[in-house]
Amino acid sequence: MANKTQKKKETFKVKGEDLLQKIKELIKEGNIRQITIKNKQGKVLVVIPLTAGVVAAALAPILAAVGAIAALVTECTITVERR
């Protein structure tokens, strides 16, 4: 029997200055369960769990943290877990 809630993962490499914009784009898609941001060495910097119905006000602190990370890294990898 196939699992209807099978998770799909995608990975993107982005420059630090493009990180915040890419995260905003992914969140707007609306079918994201979790976003993981790693540095060039593969160390996890932040894991952002997203649930259906997340409102913009709840995302503000998360996006502020992503902005701070973007200022510190030159390149990173985003792994997206989709529903």
- The per-residue pLDDT for 22 is 92
Q: Could you report the average pLDDT of every consecutive run of 10 residues in the chain (83 residues)?
A: 68 92 86 90 89 66 86 91 86
CA torsion through residues 10, 13, 17, 18, sign: negative
- The per-residue pLDDT for 14 is 94
Residue pair 83/33 in contact (Cβ under 8 Å)? The answer is: yes
- The per-residue pLDDT for 81 is 92
CA torsion through residues 7, 8, 12, 18, sign: negative
Q: What pTM did the predictor assign?
A: 0.80
Tell me the domain boundaries of the chain. 13-82
DSSP letter for 17, please.
G
- The per-residue pLDDT for 41 is 92
